[in-house]
Structure 1
């Protein structure tokens, strides 16, 4: 009788990928990144293990949204104090901390448990085109988020 293959932490082959977020749609980009972080693009995917890869996102300041979401999409945070709710729009947050937009979108697509927190640590987001992970020799990953456009 054959046994089901179960990958171990030591056999998980983790790669590094670089994704350029310039002129990419936020939600479509975040779903692809979340799939890679979970490892769903690999044949060794196991739901309860971290079999995913590392993802470096560059040019986070140039990610786009469609329609009026720039003015209408709101990001909320709370200080924990009474009346401590802070709200800001997509455009304002993109000027202030562009990395947080992609981080928040991807984090919402990961499991809400210890595994999700572990997977989130594999995501590295940078506002500009430079990143400090050249030593890991990341592969460039081309993600096309605009339907019908040629890459």
Structure 2
């Protein structure tokens, strides 16, 4: 009799560490989304959280190609009339460097409850100091 294998959502929880210093934003964001969804795993299931956590360090030194540093605009709205705020990449990187990585990865994850759950497993820090050394994160090199 054939048996169907069902993966437990947290059967293989793993922590990964990515150093963003001098790396391109898009290349890092696609790799992070790929790992958070669990597509690198042979037991990939689209509707399950595979339990991967990612720590990104040095987000303040991330690069973008071309003139995006001055031309890319991030929008946010306060919810009040006339509350639209605009910021360039450079201004946002000086103010909140983690927000850049979080926004780009959020747009690459599934929309809905699963995407929100996966985004909570992304931890970003502007320098190389992070509180997750006890989890022994596996270092990933991204070109």
Q: Which TM-score bucket, shorter chain as reference? A: over 0.9
Q: Are the counterparts in 1 of residues 17 and 140 from structure 2 also a CA contact under 8 Å?
A: yes
1:59-116: per-residue Cα shift (whole Å, max 9, x none)? 0000000000000000000000011000000000000000000010001100110000
Deviating above 6 A after TM superposition, structure 1's stretches of 4 or more consecutive aligned residues are: none
Structure 2 Cα separation of the partners of residues 4 and 69 of structure 1: 48
Q: Are the counterparts in 1 of residues 92 and 100 from structure 2 also a CA contact under 8 Å?
A: yes
Residue in 1 aligned with 2:6? Answer: 6
Computed over aligned residues only, the root mean square deviation of the Cα atoms, in angstroms, reads 1.0
Superposition TM-score, scaled by structure 1 size: 0.92
For the residue of structure 1 that corresponds to 2:81, the secondary structure is coil
Residue in 2 aligned with 1:131? Answer: 130
The answer for unaligned runs of 5 or more in structure 2 is: none
Structure 1 Cα separation of the partners of residues 48 and 106 of structure 2: 17
Residue in 2 aligned with 1:102? Answer: 101
Residue in 2 aligned with 1:82? Answer: 81
* Structure 2 residue 116 is matched with structure 1 residue 117: yes
Q: How many residue pairs get matched? A: 143
For the residue of structure 2 that corresponds to 1:95, the secondary structure is helix
1:22-43: per-residue Cα shift (whole Å, max 9, x none)? 0111011100000000100001
Structure 1 Cα separation of the partners of residues 35 and 138 of structure 2: 13
For the residue of structure 1 that corresponds to 2:123, the secondary structure is strand
Superposition TM-score, scaled by structure 2 size: 0.97
Structure 1 Cα separation of the partners of residues 46 and 35 of structure 2: 13
The answer for unaligned runs of 5 or more in structure 1 is: 145-151
